[in-house]
Amino acid sequence: MMWKNIPFLSDYVSKRESSWDRSGDNRDFIYIPENTSRTLADIKGAGYIAHIFLSGMSVNRHWLRQVLIKMYWDNEENPSVEVPVGDFFGAFHCRPRHFSSIFLSVTPWYFPGMNCYFPMPFANHAKIEIDNQSKFPVILYYHIDYELCNSIEGNLGRFHAQWRRENPTKAVPPLGMEYRYGGAKNLTGEENYTILEAEGDGHVIGIMLGVDNLEGGWWGEGDDMIFIDGEIWPPSIHGTGTEELFGLAYCPTYEYTTLYCGFQLISKEDWSGKNAAYRFFLFDPIRFKKSIKITIEHGHANNLSNDYSSVAFWYQTEPHSHFPTMPSPEERLPREPEYYWKKIVPLEREMWQIFFEQGERGIRWQKYSLKDQWQVRKLIYEINEAYTHDEYKKMKLLCGKVIKLMKKYG
């Protein structure tokens, strides 16, 4: 058991990099202008990253997709981690939902608090960067907790994480509701959505999948197929359906999270809209010696055309193979209806502009009544809930209430 090591004493030295206010005041964040990168940690020596906490805010709700987190180990040139920051922590489609797992957790409230507990070893150097590729500044709060030691064991793989998206997937005939639950055949896996392709010696520790269900109806009959060390059909690991891979069964209509698996986002009970799920292989890592390809069908026998995105987490020897080219910030945006862009975005940006300006002028929260402090936070939380469930007209109403309340204070 992993817990048996808790009582053991060691020579490791505990450290933290954070955004604490060096003046001693309470502005415990960093400001990252648009199209700018910031190094959060640049650590020399041997050790491992133990915990990462991030929270942030912007007038741009989609900063969670347009800001990247990157990690480099032992002076490598190409990052071992390159993922939109929201998706890295499990906040897919820019819709943070409450979930708590063995490695990741998110608390949505009115700004998401996001935590990561993957151990990340390094032999002589570690660097963690935030790359704000959006057109708006971002305010970021962070902790990076780590330990240093004289040296690490030689057989430790390095932590990797990779993001992918296919928007939309290409439906393979035969199509139609009569084939939604069977009747078609997939005996190659060639048209599957690819979650990960990697080369080297290592093991996969987790995957997360986001699906924006464009076709409607149940979307999750797709089997996972995992090809190890260059094998051809049939793969060593073949699943029985998307919901089984992520620990549920029979077309789930509710959000469900556990330590190791779950659906942290189901925006609508009729399966339409945006969904996200995770599976961690802590006790059953998927091992490979030369290469691995993790794929999943998009619908039974790939007969659905939906928006798929994913993150894979794994450990391996270096060097790693090159990652796919990261799509542009605009190409990474979640799908939103025209009503959202025309009616909601201007209101949200006006709301956040007032919020930030009042903070700079010492009005928010200093001048607010306790009742109004609570009311603003509660309304912003309700806006996020409405956004999660695509209730855009409700968002418009709530944004108007927040703006009116804040304007009371000038």
Q: Could you read off the pLDDT of 23-69 as tens digits, one per residue?
A: 999 999 999 999 999 999 999 999 999 999 999 999 999 999 999 99
**Residue bearing tokens 């306790």:** 370
C-alpha distances in Å from residue 10, one per residue of 47, 147, 402: 12, 11, 51
Name, in order, each residue with C-beta under 8 angstroms of 310's C-beta and a sequence gap of 6 or more: 163, 164, 165, 193, 195, 196, 207, 208, 209, 210
Please count the residues of the chain: 410
Mean pLDDT of 93-109: 94
Do residues 78 and 322 make contact, with C-beta atoms less than 8 angstroms apart? Answer: yes
Share of the chain above pLDDT 90, in %: 95
> In terms of Cα–Cα distance, which of 357, 362, 372, 370 is closest to 404?
372
Residue 301 DSSP one-character state: G
Under the banding of pLDDT at 50, 70 and 90, the label for residue 108 is: confident
Given the structure tokens 């699943």, which residue do they identify?
A: 239
Taking alpha carbons only, the member of 210, 257, 199, 249 closest to residue 87 is 210
pLDDT for res 2: 66
Helix (H, G, I), strand (E, B) or coil at 57: strand
Handedness of CA 228, 299, 329, 397 (dihedral sign): negative
Per-position DSSP letters for 182-236, written without gaps between them: SS---SS-TTSEEEEEEESSEEEEEEEEEEEESS-S----PPEEEEETT--SSPS
Q: What is the pLDDT of residue 222?
A: 96
Write down the pLDDT at residue 4: 79
Beta-carbon count within 10 A of 264 CB: 27
Distance (Å, whole) CA 264 – CA 383: 18
Tens of pLDDT along 345-372? 999 999 999 999 999 999 999 999 999 9
pLDDT at 6 over 90: no
Segments in 217-369 forming alpha helices (H) = 242-245, 338-339, 345-360
Could you give the CA distance from residue 80 to residue 334 in angstroms, rounded to a whole number?
Answer: 24
Least confident of 31-40, 124-133, 250-259: 250-259
Sign of the torsion formed by the C-alpha atoms of 185, 191, 193 and 196 = positive
Alpha-carbon span 363 to 374, nearest angstrom:
15
Q: Based on the number of CB atoms within 10 Å of its own CB, is 318 exposed (0-12), middle (13-18) or buried (19 or more)? A: middle
Burial classification of residue 284, based on how many CB atoms lie within 10 Å of its CB (0-12 exposed, 13-18 middle, 19 or more buried)? exposed
What pLDDT, on a 0 to 100 scale, did the predictor assign at position 111?
86
Say how far apart CA 85 and CA 81 lie, in whole Å. 11
**In the predicted model, is pLDDT for residue 298 greater than 80?**
yes
pLDDT of residue 154: 84
Asked if 324 and 221 count as a contact pair (C-beta separation under 8 A), the reply is no
Inter-axis angle of helices 392-407 and 345-360, nearest 10 = 30
Q: Looking at residues 227-245, what average pLDDT do you find?
A: 96
Residue percentage of the chain with pLDDT more than 70: 100
Cα(409)–Cα(405) distance, integer angstroms: 8
Mean pLDDT of the chain: 96
Which residue do the tokens 């009959």 mark? Answer: 221
pLDDT in tens, 141-190: 999 999 999 999 889 999 999 999 999 999 999 999 899 999 999 999 99
**What distance in Å separates the CA atoms of residue 22 and residue 25, rounded to the nearest whole number?**
8
Residue 345 tokens, joined: 């975005």
Please count the other Cβ atoms lying within 10 Å of the Cβ belonging to residue 46.
18
